[in-house]
Structure 1
Amino acid sequence: MNSPDPVNRNSDARPGWVPDEIDVTRPSVARVYDFYLGGSHNFEVDREFAAGVLDVLPEMAVVAQQNRKFLRRVVQYLCAQGIDQFLDLGSGIPTAGNVHEVAAAACPGARVLYVDNDPVAVSHSRALLTDDDTTEVLAADLTHPRSVLDDPLTRRHLDLSRPVALLLVSVLHFVGDERDPAGLVRAYADALAPGSHVVITHASDIGNAAATDAQALYNRDRSPNAMRMRDTGEVEALFGDLTLLEPGVVRIPSWRPEPDSLPGRDDYPGLAGVARL
């Protein structure tokens, strides 16, 4: 299986796998996050933006890595609960340890649908997953739930009459209040079978001035996307009346940590929670 050629970090030349409609002069949330995770599918403009964030929040790369560790823990937990279908909204660019890899190891045969509206993320995901018939990629905007849920690919790949894990990992902080993120979560949850789970991780600047400064960078002109960090109560509200699992909404490293892991600091700039329908 051949993956697209990585971006030449010393050149802004357009790689052959990049769709023509992509503006390589403007940073992308998916590509910036790829850089935080040590990936190679990002451009100079993404690295420059990420460098600015790292200047004010040096731990940002560690935060992204902790988020990925949480993703592994939660997928393993969900597989142990008998969940073998995953709807990953705002999935970004696949890197090592993404949902389909963790699920394949924890519950072989699990089906994963990645959903993203970034053409680079979609193009690269499809190239990587050509030979994987348990995983599909849908180009769609998560803020239009019906277009995602009613798409023929979704209906063909997932059985919505059975429990599904809805993953909203590091994405809802890019959905402003005016777009009613809690209503979006509710719209998806209402379409899922009893026993389904909703997983959310979310940026937060509670007690962390550096995280507030990083948020300001995302809200400037020419930034990838506006960011709306939320506090614990606001993230809890995203789950609506769903039943939150223990330990509730907590700092990402503190959600059911590995026995030998360090606890999350009180100013850790990210929250996580899981709820059951």
Structure 2
Amino acid sequence: MMAAEPNVAGERSPGEASLGFDTTVAHPARVYDYWLGGKDNFAADREAAERVLAATPGLRTRVRANRAFLARVVRFLVGSAGITQFLDIGTGIPSPNNTHQVAQAVVPAARVVYVDNDPIVLTHARALLTSSAEGATNYLDADLRNPERILEEAAQRLDFDRPIGVILLGVLHLVQDSEDPWAIVGRLMAAVPSGSYLAISHPALEINPGQQEAQKRYNERVSTPQTLRTQSDVARFFTGLELVEPGLVQVHQWRPEAGDPVPDDGTSAHGGLARKP
């Protein structure tokens, strides 16, 4: 789907109105798509994205470093940890190297359940539902803030008697402190068996000097505000789990591979992977 331009006076065109969601308000998934160089975004998303880029010019590379982190984490989980089931929450608009593509390239029988609550991601669910003949992919239209529903529906598709890789990349900052994202993650990890893993990437508050201004500009334009967090805040999500080396670091520093994006300013999001004992 190509991005649509707004008409005069901020009204939506008939084509936009038929989409079933308001394209005049920026949405995190579509802003992120723009930063990745995608085309599934609208004028409001691009305007919000450019405002943030003005405060943090290197953000595009940091976003791409986050996607590379996803691929490395999934390859590690499938290849070294023997994980063949994944619960990927906060999927976003499909882009190259989605979780199922990376996992099934190594183990064709891998199973993936994607979760997101953005209507535009739902329109792209078919791209997420492609699968190897041996494996399976599914998509749930659900909100991270409702972990009980996610777990109930995921249990119909994944075997909760075997270890599961829980993927929460670039999504927890959309849950406010007042909504207790730590308790949400705790509920998800309590439901999966020993030997399961938790992968998180989270935009950093204290690393880049432009981040606080970028957060302010972002929150002025989007439907869902973000909360950037410090490394110690992010470390709380891994309480009771065993961090995989090199621990909680910036995502481009986690087991880097040749050719992966490296931000010019040397900074990116917090990222880590941990095992449930």
TM-score by length of 2: 0.89
Structure 1 residues 255 and 18, CA gap change in structure 2 (3 angstroms): farther
Q: Is the 1:7–1:15 contact (alpha carbons within 8 Å) kept by the matching residues of 2?
A: no
Shift in alpha-carbon separation, 1:215–1:134, aligned structure 2, 3 A: same
Matched residue of 2:210: which SS? helix
Cα distance per residue 1:93-138 (max 9 Å; x no partner): 11111111111212212111110111111221x2324553711110
Alignment match, 1:189:
189
Paired with 2:123 and 2:150, the residues of 1 have a C-alpha distance of: 18
The whole-number CA distance in structure 1 between the counterparts of 2:97 and 2:17 is 22
Asked whether the equivalents of residues 58 and 263 of structure 2 are also in contact (C-alpha less than 8 Å), the reply is no
Give the letter aligned to residue 52 of structure 1. R
- Contact kept in structure 1, 2:75 and 2:103, CA below 8 Å: yes
Q: Secondary structure at the match of 2:200?
A: strand
Cα separation, partners in 2 of 1:195 and 1:224, compared to 1, 3 Å: same
Amino acid corresponding to residue 34 of structure 2 in structure 1 = F
> Residue 71 of structure 1: CA displacement?
0.5
Distance 2:263 2:59 in 1: 14
Q: Can you list the C-alpha shifts for 1:193-239, whole angstroms capped at 9, x where unaligned?
A: 1110000000013242211111111232x423221111111111111
Any unmatched runs of 5+ in structure 1? none
Structure 2 CA distance for partners of 1:261 and 1:130, relative to 1, 3 Å: closer
* Alpha-carbon shift at residue 40 of structure 1 (Å): 1.1
Aligned to 1:275: 274
Q: Is the 8 A contact 2:49 2:218 kept in 1?
A: no
TM-superposed deviation, 1:157:
1.5
Distance change (3 Å), C-alpha of 1:180 and 1:267 = farther
8 Å contact from structure 2 (residues 94, 128) kept in 1: no
CA deviations on 1:74-111 (whole Å, 9 max, x unpaired) are 00000011101110111111111111111121221211
5 Å-filtered alignment, 1:105-184, equals 105-124=105-124, 126-129=125-128, 131-132=130-131, 134-151=136-153, 154-184=154-184
Aligned to 1:45, the other structure's residue is in SS state: helix
Aligned position for 1:95:
95
CA separation of 1:26 and 1:252: change in aligned 2, threshold 3 A:
same
1:45 equivalent to 2:44? Answer yes
Displacement of 1:260: 6.5
5+ residue gaps, structure 2: none
Contact 1:27–1:45 under 8 Å retained in 2: yes
Q: What is the distance in 1 between the residues matched to 2:260 and 2:117?
A: 34
Deviating more after overlay: 126-135 vs 159-168: 126-135
Look up the SS of the partner of 2:227 in the other structure: coil
Kindly indicate whether the alpha-carbon contact (under 8 Å) linking 1:218 and 1:224 is maintained by their aligned counterparts in 2. no
Of all paired residues, the percent bearing the same amino acid is 38
Q: CA RMSD in A?
A: 2.2
Relative contact order, higher structure (CA 8 A, sep 6+): 2
CA distance in structure 1 between the partners assigned to 2:56 and 2:265 by the alignment: 16
What does residue 230 of structure 2 align with? 231
Task: Report 1:68-107 matches (<5 A).
Answer: 68-80=67-79, 81-107=81-107
Decide whether the 8 Å contact of 2:4 with 2:16 is kept in 1.
no
